[in-house]
Copies of this chain bind each other. A is one copy, B any other.
Amino acid sequence: MTEGSPIPLPLAWSDKAKRTKDSPISFLIAEAMRNPSLVNFAAGLVDPWSLPVEECLEITRRILSDVDRGRRALQYDTTLGLNDLRRQCLKHLASLEETPVEKLGYGPDEIVVTTGSQQALYLIGDILVNPGDIVIAANPSYFVYTGTLQSLGAHVMAVPMDQHGMDVDAVAKLLEKLDRSGEISRLKLIYCTSFYQNPTGLTLSADRRPRLLELVKKYSRTHRILLMEDAAYRELRYDGPVERSIKSYDTTNQFVASSYTFSKPFAPGIKLGYTVMPKDLAHAVIAQKGNHDFGSSSLNMHIAAEALADGSYLKHAEVLRGVYRRKRDLVLAALKKYFGRGGDGAGSPSDDLPDAEHPIHWTHTHGGLYVWLTLPPSIDTSRTGPLFGAAVDAGVIYVPGEYAFQPDEDGHVPQNHLRICYGSVHPDQIEPGIAKFSAVVKKLLAKTPRPVAQATGL
């Protein structure tokens, strides 16, 4: 506005806009970009040094030096997504599931390509959820998606997690309760990150996978409840058991949508994801995506298809597993050194304590980009609390755990957790970063009256 102009009349926002909060991830990414000297344990950026620059140079050269192919890559494609890419994704999924393509139970037309897997999560939420409808998610959960669900007007009902992932007994109890009260008619979606969850790094255990699907089937009486499996981190496995997807139990392709991304195992810059889903859901997602953008970037789809076809995707994912495994090890070792009691840190979650009165523990993860750290209840990790500012002043930034929780009946969320993401932190910065951070924590602990230790959940 020009100087001296009057305060403008307000725009008349939609209910959706009023429900939409500023995304904490946008703030954190912007913050980290503004202050590149911070040890950035916050935003979920990926490792910059291992990005497949050479591979993408070679792939784009190959695509664009062939005029016909280059023209296809620079033209519009379909809303569903590049045919060749969807076929490559299908083969890739068969290889992940260790099963022939014919036995997957779905074909290339049940795979929808989106602008990152986030767009698929958004679209699926939007076509199932009316304001007031219910979604079940873990506590804690991927906060960008629970924020999205809230902007859609969903009532997100949270069930606890333990070291084996989402508590499926708690899901069963909640379903029974919703069934008794009749609210089950408003339950549209169960959201579960099945591998190396954001923010805890924990994986749903083998026995819970078919059980979760059976529960969804059992309570799908008047309508189908959709199980939304977020498999973004599946390919970043460093050790521990190899799990099948929940989707692999859904042999008739009716109840589960499973979303994957190229951002984590390849490169975020091409902003592509793909989701396998029931046929009727795919149809509705495509109609909706037609209104959003009528198809993701052709060029990026050609790049992704070529990376899968020429083997560079698989090679790169293997490189990344090495890169992140090392960083994960460095994070766990540093946590043990600066917060541990001398235990070996094995088991997840670890229950190392600096002293009996102040339980500090963290998840011992087998993949993904995150470790979840629990501090004593007296330490407020929230963005407006004393720790966050002190940590930033000391040169370290993290994601406050508060974002990842649904409030309890009194509107409270736990404020003594935080997410450590080692995605974009240089290996040499990890121990110094944790050291600085632990000094800030210890200083605060020294100032804080010491409450009796209590269980604080995840």
Contact = CB atoms under 8 A, between A and B. Distances in A.
Nearest to A292: B122
B46 A75 contact: yes
Nearest to A105: B2
A252 interface: yes
Interface in A113-148: 115-116, 118-119, 122, 126-130, 133, 144, 147-148
A361 to B, nearest CB: 30
A91 B65 CA distance: 31
Contact of A293 (B49, B119, B127): B119
A271 interface: yes
Nearest to A12: B223
B291 A148 contact: yes
Query: For the complex formed by this chain, how many copies does it contain in all?
Result: 2
A381 interface: no
A263 interface: yes
Nearest to A188: B12
Contacts of A126: 14, 16-17
Contacts of A45: 75-76
B74 A286 contact: no
Contact of A151 (B16, B115, B291): B291
A20 B127 contact: yes
A11 B70 contact: no
Contacts of A220: 9
Given A29-B76, A294-B144, A223 B115 contact: no
Contacts of A281: 11
A269 B297 contact: yes
Contacts of A279: 1
Contact of A127 (B17, B118, B300, B424): B17
A185 B11 CA distance: 11
A176 interface: no
B130 A23 contact: no
A17 B288 contact: yes
A67 interface: yes
A277 to B, nearest CB: 10
A78 B16 contact: no
Contacts of A129: 14
Contacts of A115: 115, 292-293, 296-297
A25 B79 CA distance: 9
Contact of A253 (B1, B23, B148, B263): B1
B292 A292 contact: yes
21 contacts: A5-B252, A8-B252, A9-B222, A12-B224, A13-B127, A14-B130, A21-B287, A30-B78, A44-B76, A46-B75, A51-B74, A56-B64, A61-B61, A74-B270, A76-B263, A115-B292, A115-B293, A147-B290, A270-B297, A271-B296, A299-B299
- Interface pairs A-B: 8 shortest CB-CB: A23-B290, A53-B70, A74-B269, A17-B127, A57-B64, A271-B297, A12-B223, A269-B298
Interface of A: 1-2, 5, 8-17, 20-23, 25-26, 29-30, 33, 43-46, 48-49, 51-54, 56-57, 60-61, 64-65, 67, 70-71, 73-76, 78-79, 105, 115-116, 118-119, 122, 126-130, 133, 144, 147-148, 151, 185, 188, 220-224, 226, 251-254, 263, 267-271, 278-281, 284, 286-288, 290-300, 302-303, 424
